[in-house]
Structure 1
Amino acid sequence: MILIASSNGAVGMEAGWAILQAGGSALDAVEAATRPVEANPDDHSVGYGGYPNVLGEVELDASIMDGTTLQAGAVGALRGFRHPISVARQVLEELPHVMLVGDGAAGFAAELGMQPENLLTPPAEAAWRAGLDGRLPEEFRHAQGQIMERMLARATRLATDPERVAGTVNFIAQDAAGRPASAVSTSGWAWKYPGRLGDSPIIGAGNYADDRYGAAACTGWGELAIRAGTARSVVMYLQHGYALEDACRAAFHDLGALGLPPEHCLMSMVALDRHGQHCAISTIPGRTYVYQSSGMAAPAELPRLIVPVTGS
């Protein structure tokens, strides 16, 4: 058994590991592990307290995948519900769809009996106001201080904060039966255009699991992972016989084909192969990840391998 996560997933490791130790499924474990992160108001990249879009609205994305059945569920641009991972899980379980977004996702959450709430905490709101004040000229505001809706695209380009791109939480688990599952949850890019989806809810981009080969989950600039199909690429390289670290490196190498300067390719990844070997890489120095496996009394935190993106 093993559970791995991005470093901000440390607060959820106990909940996820308890399920694995009790003989529960990897799918249950990654959902349970994600929920404490979504409820953590001090994590501004996920769930309650996450940074809002350019209008000050918190929009959440999440996905979950069962590596044994290849079933998946995802939600995007979900407002008013702090646990998008559990809504995504119920999409997987209850609907013939893979993804719901916006009002459809919120309506489904309400149908499940989940209670809506305001997800914008005072610290996140203060950061949003400070971020806009520091980037937008006065022409973008009217008397109430709201951004003019007809100018949202330009306002988003000016306000989007490159220092707040690389949030998100990832979990990958393999249970006692060898079944893998993966989960990703995020509030997305700070001050984003309303309705923007990154890679987190996109199966194959930010999240993928297949018990024949392995699993991978991403954080960082989600648009890049969408364009390159990064999580699925790792699993594909494993399918073609690559060792786990080599598969991760190859997927990062593919980002070079996108034609961006290397310093703009902000990306991190956790991955697991079918043998339970784990790996975490990043283009960003200083990033870590956490894991716990059979025989360990507590999770351990390790540095990620630094893998720069170069042109292909």
Structure 2
Amino acid sequence: MPEAVIIGSERSEVGLPTGMEVLRRGGSALDAVEAAMRCCEDNLTDHYVGTGGLPNAQGVVELDASVMLGSSRRFGSVGALRGYPNPISVARAVLEKLPQHCMLVGEGAALFARENGFSTAELLTEESRALWREQLRASGESVEGENTAALDGDRRYRSAALDLIRRLAPHEGPWGTINIIALDALGEMCVGVSTSGYPYKYPGRVGDSAVPGAGNWCDLRAGGAACTGRGELSMRGGTARSVVELLALGREPSEACRSALAEADALPDDFRAELRALALTPDGRHGGAAGQQGSTYAVMTERSTQPELHPRSVL
């Protein structure tokens, strides 16, 4: 049997020790991913996932998340979920309690969360609200809703929102979606992804984190992969699945990630931003790639006392 291992993208270090403790107790890869990711979603200093995530252009936090199992390729996800602080758990509930579907979005995702007893919370913190207002002031336009008369006001709002989207740039400091991939002692693998998405995005935008093959893919015959960064590129490139297909051809994880990123990088994109990938194989090999020097990912095994940072290969 393989040794249990859990890996994650930047800022997953907040949750990986909790996930590894689940694995040490004999818990499943799915249990470990959910437990680890909930820690990340509850981290109020992280403005790209869970509570405190940066809001859309209307000032509302919308969350995306997914989980995928390698043995069956069962998949559950939620997109544009409002008011529920742990979308990773709602995504798991979709996988386990709604097997006729894979994805729920918007009001339907919130209805499902309510029916299954998940607790609501105010997701917009004072700090994330302040960051949002600062960006609006910088735009020179008010993007607070359709609060002027008739069609003229509607046109002004939409123009301002689109202008804001075109100028998106992450604030200084660590940013982006969080990926966590776990392999348990029984050989099952699970990939989990969670995000609040691009800050100041157009309301209702769903990124790659909720989309199988784009931000998340797991096939126990070859491995699991996940992406963070420019989600529209990984959706167009099918990047997470491309990584796993390259693993199936015998590529090492870091090489597979780098090649898949190169394919996505060749696509035309007027709003290009960095895309990163992370991968784990069923025998415990792991690797990642990014578009810039200094990028890392975190790893824990059963012998680890704390997450260990590994460099990503560079595109």
Aligned partner of 2:42 in structure 1 is 39
Contact 2:146 2:154 survives alignment (8 Å): no
Residues 225-266 of structure 1: CA deviation (Å, up to 9, x unaligned) = 0000000000111122322222112201211331248x9341
Shift of 1:7: 1.9
Secondary structure, counterpart of 1:108 in structure 2: helix
Counterparts in 2 of 1:201-212, with a 5 A limit?
201-212=210-221
User: Which segment drifts farther, 196-205 or 285-294?
Assistant: 285-294
Contact 2:258 2:288 survives alignment (8 Å): no
Contact 1:255 1:265 survives alignment (8 Å): no
Contact 1:63 1:201 survives alignment (8 Å): yes
Q: Which amino acid aligns with 2:161?
A: T
User: Which segment drifts farther, 156-165 or 248-257?
Assistant: 156-165
Shift of 1:150: 4.4
Gap runs ≥5 in structure 1:
308-312
Secondary structure, counterpart of 1:87 in structure 2: helix
Aligned partner of 2:306 in structure 1 is 298
Contact 1:244 1:279 survives alignment (8 Å): yes
Aligned partner of 2:250 in structure 1 is 241
Secondary structure, counterpart of 1:270 in structure 2: strand
Shift of 1:105: 0.3
TM-score normalised over the length of structure 2: 0.91
The separation in 2 between residues aligned to 1:153 and 1:192, in whole angstroms, is 12
Residues 265-305 of structure 1: CA deviation (Å, up to 9, x unaligned) = 41111111122101011113332211101322221122322
Contact 2:261 2:276 survives alignment (8 Å): no
Gap runs ≥5 in structure 2:
none
The separation in 1 between residues aligned to 2:83 and 2:145, in whole angstroms, is 26
Change (3 A) 1:128 1:149: farther
Secondary structure, counterpart of 2:11 in structure 1: helix
| Identity across matched positions, percent | 45
In the alignment, structure 1 residue 14 sits paired with structure 2 residue 23? no
Counterparts in 2 of 1:49-198, with a 5 A limit?
49-95=52-98, 96-137=100-141, 149-160=154-165, 161-164=167-170, 167-198=176-207
Contact 2:20 2:302 survives alignment (8 Å): no
The separation in 2 between residues aligned to 1:214 and 1:15, in whole angstroms, is 22
The separation in 2 between residues aligned to 1:267 and 1:18, in whole angstroms, is 30
Change (3 A) 1:127 1:275: same
